[in-house]
Amino acid sequence: MVFSTNNISDPGIDLAGSSHMDYPTSVQVIALPCSSGINPRWLLHALEAGFDGVFVAADGTDCAYLPDCTDRTAAVMQKAQDLIKEHGLDPRRVKMAGICSVCSESFVSHMEKFHKALSELKT
């Protein structure tokens, strides 16, 4: 599962699709206004619901809503990691990277690497 942002990472992900770039077909994207608005429990819920991993395509410094989005998103991710550990799940099943509106190749690369890492965790 991928949490993406409407204005920043979503266009990059859409560009990957419209450019026919290959990444795992199991990837499902949920768009949100800002990566700092993600509730850490959503990441836990996704893992408990059966997703192998959760990737946050963060706004980074390009966020149009909050000047401290990067710090807030980092705090969200730390809380999510702690929550996931508390529930006995492997925190390596959650990743985050800044994905910009033209970062289609970067997104595909992250998906391929994360998919491979998740596959290795299963064995």
**Which residue bears the tokens 């730390």?**
78
Q: pTM of the predicted model, to two decimals?
A: 0.90
> Helices 40-48 and 69-86 meet at what angle, rounded to 10?
40
Per residue in 54-100, pLDDT tens? 999 987 777 666 677 788 889 999 999 999 999 999 999 999 988 88
Q: Locate the domains of the chain by residue range.
A: 2-122
Per residue in 10-66, pLDDT tens? 888 888 888 898 888 889 999 999 888 899 999 999 999 999 999 999 877 776 666
* Gap between the Cα atoms of 25 and 71, Å rounded: 31
* Gap between the Cα atoms of 78 and 34, Å rounded: 17
